[in-house]
Structure formats: C-alpha cells, structure tokens
Amino acid sequence: MTSAAGGAGPQWQDGFPHVLWRAQQAVHRHTQSAIDGLGVTLTQLGLAVHLDELGLMSASDLARIFRLTPQSVTTALAQLERLGWVRRLPHPVHKRVVLHELTETGLAGVADGRTRIAHADSALSEILGEERAAAIETLRRLTVALEGETPSQPSPWPVPRSTP
C-alpha cells in the first residue's frame, strides 16, 4: 500500500497507534461527560478512587501508580483540596512527607463518580458485546509489555498501624 505522501506502508489512519489513540479519545470524552457536574476530571476522580481504595498516600505514591509526573498529581490534588475532596496531613513519622486523605465530601464524590463511571462502562460494554473481555485482556497485555506491572508496593512511606 502506498501513502498519499508516496511512501510505502499503511495509511496513518489505519495504523494501530492512530486507531487506538482515536478510541482512547472517544472513550475519554464519553467517560468525562459521564462525570460532568462532579467538578473533577477523570484523572482527579482516579486519584480520589485510589485514595479511597488504598488509604493515605503522598503525591509521589500516586504519581508512581498512575505513571504521571509528581507535579501533575500535585496540581490535581490541589484542585481536589480546593473542592474539599481531600485534606493534607503530615506523615506521622516522616514529617516532610505530605499525605492526602479523602474527606466526607470526597468519599461522597467518589461514590457518585463510581456510579457514573459504571453507567458509562455499561454503555461501552453494549458496544463491545462479547468482545469486551478480550479487548480488556489485550489492552492489559499491551500495557504490561510496554510499561511493566503497576507497582505492587506503592508507598515507600508506610503509615505505621496503631496497635490496640
């Protein structure tokens, strides 16, 4: 096949990176519209969901999990703090480490966000039908092959558990 520019190979639009990018953009717009009204972005909601699931974490911990820059995560967490979703706390042992914790408002926002994303996921599942599980597995395999597994121990600054 010859491209319009005269080179051999598939058209730009037919290549896997372009098709995947277009699909990612479409899914992003679909899911972002599902959470419109919450006042957060998908990244901010994702950070809040991880705080809900994993507990107190620093911006660096979250940056490692999401493979984002610490600056991006700090900016997102600052917005969540302005919205009243998170509060900052000093680490009980490592005083220079700032931990983030969900507030009651944040917990309610996460619950609402999870419900909205579940509805968006349901709509996407209808489009994919029986191919959904295979698509998820293929994308996970691609991600792990290119970036490796998600870090299993997210925090180098564990919060000591209080003993009863």
Which CATH number goes with the domain that contains 21? Answer: 1.10.10.10
Residue 151 forms part of a structural domain? no
Q: Which of 129-154 are b and which e, b meaning 16 or more Cβ less than 10 Å from the residue's Cβ? A: eeeeeeeeeeeeeeeeeeeeeeeeeb
**DSSP state at residue 2:** B
Among 16, 13, 8, 69, which residue's Cα sits nearest to residue 43?
69
Whether the predicted pLDDT of 85 surpasses 50: yes
Residue 78 forms part of a structural domain? yes
Out of 8-17, 71-80, 110-119, least confident range: 8-17
Give the per-residue pLDDT at 117: 98
Residue 162 forms part of a structural domain? no
What's this model's pTM, rounded to 2 decimal places? 0.81
Residue 82 forms part of a structural domain? yes
pLDDT, tens digit, for every residue of 34-62? 999 999 999 999 999 999 999 999 999 89
Confidence grade of residue 93 (pLDDT, cut at 50, 70, 90):
confident
pLDDT, tens digit, for every residue of 101-157? 999 999 999 999 999 999 999 999 999 999 999 999 999 999 899 988 876 555 555
Neighbours of 63 (CB within 10 A): 20
For residue 82, the enclosing domain spans 15-146
Residue 154 forms part of a structural domain? no
Report how many domains make up the chain. Answer: 1
Give the per-residue pLDDT at 147: 86
Residue 1 forms part of a structural domain? no
Residue 159 forms part of a structural domain? no
Residue 64 forms part of a structural domain? yes
Give the per-residue pLDDT at 152: 59
Whether the predicted pLDDT of 77 surpasses 80: yes
The torsion defined by the Cα of 28, 75, 107 and 104, in degrees rounded to 10, comes to -150
